[in-house]
Structure 1
Amino acid sequence: METQSFVVLREGTADWVKMGDSDNSMTTRCRYITKGITIAILTSILSFFGCGQQSNSNMEKLSVTQTIYPTDHKLTMQERKDLTNKFLKQNGVPTLDHLPFVEDYTVARFRDQKEVACKVVVVYGLLHVAYNEKTAEEMIAYYKKYNLWDYVSPKERMYLEKPTRTQEENNLVSWRIECLNVLLWSLRHFNTLPFPIEMCNFSDYKNLPNLENDPTEWISNSKLRNTEDILNETDMIYRIHWAVRDASLNGRPIPANINQDIVMERHFALNWLVMYADEWDEVTTDT
């Protein structure tokens, strides 16, 4: 199969619609998305299944949080940080001892499960637009019909309301599949988030909302998972993201075969879940 590369420029951490020009800024990242990868993602989405977990032994070894963090008590910030750093060091990922804490249960805030479920439907619809399986007009009408338009962020509305969308813009939206993966996990649709090495695989999951029908029942049946799990994953991805950025800034190989784009999207989604910023478009992935 012929392979064609698309170069997608992404500036900053939260702006996924506005395209930037190539420059020397360390905040500008290039994404090379091959036609083969894009087709593979599209095929997975159109199966209307959700993210399953990879089955190879390395991924099983690194399907992380269930085996790292104790479940017999709520963790303090220091406990969680120490456990995360121990795991990362054991798996060849550098850590920074003075990297700040992630908030613990005493002060952490979380999204309401209805808001999370509504955002799942929104992101799922955006992916359909990005892959030309639904028109933007169809999805706008759908969101408004089922009272979801308020959950579409201003930047998402800009994307939908454009007369035409470029391939680069669609590619950027397509990476929200990794955000969708995190949001579905947070609603208990599967048990683990694997180590961020391979793109999520929509192969086993069979309960995504049907965009031909009213999603109200699907939304009302959604339940947020244990908030300790969410804090554990947030701490993990925060420290992984620091290691990835530190390696990139200092010209070193990215450790442990980590996929930088998966890390970016997962960190974004988890920061949204723990209300690092009030609005979707305002979320950053600071390290």
Structure 2
Amino acid sequence: MLKTKEWAASHGIDVDDLLPAIPDYNEPIPRTPQEIATRCIILHAIAATGYGVEPRPIIEWLMDQSIWDDASPAEQSLMESTAPGDEELNAACWRQEAEWALLWAINKVDSFGLPIQTCDTGLLVDDVMPGPGDDIEPFVSSAQLRSPGVLLAEIDRTYNLHCFARQADRQNALPDDLIYPVLFQRHYAFEWLTGDDQWDKVQTDT
């Protein structure tokens, strides 16, 4: 079976880690860098909850930083739940991949590439994200969007990969090194990034 790199290339998809910007594309996205950075913090909190971190201190931190209301209804429900289910917790863990995609969009992480590995959790926790109890202002205020052409190149690649992956999945022909949840979370994050839907309402149509 083809690996993801060869499979993607066979569909005409650029497989380089760093894609060239779409020429002459300057349409701004509807989200501000600060809004995106705040969403990253919320997703970080959700992933932590999924991995078993006690949510009450996280909730108190988000409240103290005045961003608790930025968590979606489903996210608030998860963090307030006294007995979340295993499926719900597993889904929460994967949200760090959506977080990673948005961090890339605001220049907080450098690498992206094909969806054949999970994000660097150690880097995420130790070096990139503010921890519970930290002041989030430096993180939020320093967020800077990549150029529209660079964003569009990666957004288009992710969308196209997801289209072909869904077709391949129906034929039981997904590359064995493609991590589908990583691809899905990236697509979900980018649909939120470029649209105006609330987080819980995002659709990943292909």
TM-score (norm 1): 0.61
* Pair member with larger Rg: 1
Superposition map of 1:77-116 within 5 A: 105-106=26-27, 109-116=29-36
From 13, 20, 24, the counterpart of 1:74: 24
Shift of 1:168: 2.1
What residue is the counterpart of 2:131 in the other structure? 210
1:178 paired to 2:97: yes
Asked if the contact 1:268/1:284 (under 8 Å) is kept, the reply is yes
More helix, by proportion? 2
Asked if the contact 1:247/1:254 (under 8 Å) is kept, the reply is yes
Q: Deviations over 1:14-71 (max 9, x none)?
A: xxxxxxxxxxxxxxxxxxxxxxxxxxxxxxxxxxxxxxxxxxxxxxx944343xx356
1:148 paired to 2:101: no
Superposition map of 1:97-136 within 5 A: 105-106=26-27, 109-133=29-53, 135-136=54-55
1:248 paired to 2:169: yes
From 70, 77, 86, the counterpart of 1:167: 86
What residue is the counterpart of 1:268 in the other structure? 188
Alpha-carbon RMSD: 2.1
Q: Deviations over 1:136-189 (max 9, x none)?
A: 222221111111012100111111122211222111100001011111111102
Which residues of structure 1 form unaligned runs of 5+? 1-60, 76-104
What residue is the counterpart of 2:9 in the other structure? none
From 194, 200, 204, the counterpart of 1:281: 200
In 2, Cα distance between the equivalents of 1:70 and 1:165?
42
TM-score (norm 2): 0.84
What residue is the counterpart of 1:100 in the other structure? none
Identify if the C-alpha distance between structure 1 residues 170 and 116 changes in structure 2 by more than 3 Å, giving closer, same or farther. Answer: same
Asked if the contact 1:111/1:273 (under 8 Å) is kept, the reply is yes
Identify if the C-alpha distance between structure 1 residues 165 and 70 changes in structure 2 by more than 3 Å, giving closer, same or farther. Answer: closer
Query: Which amino acid is the alignment partner of residue 167 of structure 1?
Result: D
Query: Which amino acid is the alignment partner of residue 113 of structure 2?
Result: P
> More relative contact order in 1 or in 2 (CA 8 Å, sep 6+)?
2
What residue is the counterpart of 1:78 in the other structure? none
In 2, Cα distance between the equivalents of 1:267 and 1:215?
26
Identity %: 25
Alignment coverage as a number of residue pairs: 191
Which residues of structure 2 form unaligned runs of 5+? 1-13
